[in-house]
Amino acid sequence: MEFRITHKAAGGRARTGEIRTPHGMFETPVFMPVGTQGSVKAVSPEDLTDAGVRVILANTYHLYLRPGHPVIGRLGGLHRFMNWSGPILTDSGGFQVYSLTSLRTLTDHGVTFQSHIDGSRHFIGPEEAIDIQETLGADIIMAFDECAPYPSEYAYVQRSVSLTTSWARRCLERKKRDDQALFGIVQGGMYADLREISAQELVEMGFDGYALGGLSVGEDRATRERVIRETIGFLPTEKPVYLMGVGTPEDILEAVALGVDMFDCVMPTRNARNGTLFTTAGRMTIKNARYAEDNRPVDEGCHCYTCANYSRAYLRHLFMAREILSYRLNTIHNLAYYARLMADIRTAIREDRLTEYRATFYELQEKGLG
């Protein structure tokens, strides 16, 4: 992987860049849709490309359980398996294992856990996480980490940082493939000193990029932005910074201003299936009766397939009738909105007008839908 900064904003940390991988290049800041099980829910790879998506995320934990990484490996790797020719990032499974608190046993070696599918018992440690991701064949893979719940006592988070550092070193030692980039994940909860320790220990190991983990786990926005601000200064400017699991358009915009390059979240796809659509004037709840005879597109400034062909009235009808097509059309629009948001942010950074762009963004959101 090659990361090249193409522009640095005047008077701030925001920047644009390019990341080149064996499966193509994408520009940063970038949002990665979540394809948990090798599929971004409700849409095809062709839909993703048409919506402006250039890189996606897939989940190690879920693909390990079903259909199994050996199966995907024998069938030519994840790109061929899911017919996606662009870059893929796989997470390590650490966050999913974290979410199984009642079904797991944590030791220095790794995590023993019960499958949420059939209750079978499994073990994943740093070595196993790397082996799985190398078999899947993603372009960017993540170190196995221990994500502390929120809130957590200082002593627990301190041990979490120690484990994450130890596991990160073991991931580096295990990694064999030269065609995959490996990112380390900074932990430390909401404690500034532990974040500093985690970041510095990972930087000393020399990863290809660095992720900010353990955020978007229940903390308020001000706390999250404080942690980002306090941590990002300890990371090398020449490496990409990835904020995991975030988030809303507002969260992304503020994090970009703090120097973050990469994002992922289920928000655009999950909200689409729940009937919430993102627009330049805020969120639209498509089931509202006010749209029953509204012949306008979701967002009159959007040129996605959904907005080019279907009205608010029709989308409301599909959602109320629980038609499967509703999920696809809503998801296409939301992903196109996020892709356009990132493209607009990149343009604003390149033109040194991010401050003005932010002001206009919030002004439109406050004005609301007509």
Alpha helix locations (H) across the chain? Answer: 45-51, 60-65, 69-74, 78-82, 94-98, 126-136, 154-174, 192-205, 221-232, 249-257, 267-273, 305-309, 312-320, 324-350, 354-367
Structure token digits, residue 143: 């170190």
Residue tagged active-site, from 47, 139, 251, 264: 264
HEC string for 166-195 = HHHHHHHHHCCCCCCEEEEEECCCCCHHHH
Strand, coil or helix: 365: helix
d(CA 210, CA 117): 31
264 is catalytic: yes
Cis bond before residue 67 (omega within 30° of 0): yes
Strand, coil or helix: 245: coil
d(CA 300, CA 280): 9
Q: Which residues contact 305 (CB under 8 A, 6 or more apart)?
A: 47, 50, 51, 329, 332, 336
Q: What share of the chain is helix, strand, coil (3-state, %, to 5)?
A: 45, 20, 35
Q: What is the DSSP letter of 290?
A: G
First to last CA, the chain: 45
Residue tagged active-site, from 47, 91, 251, 299: 91
131 is catalytic: no
Positions annotated as catalytic residues are 91, 264
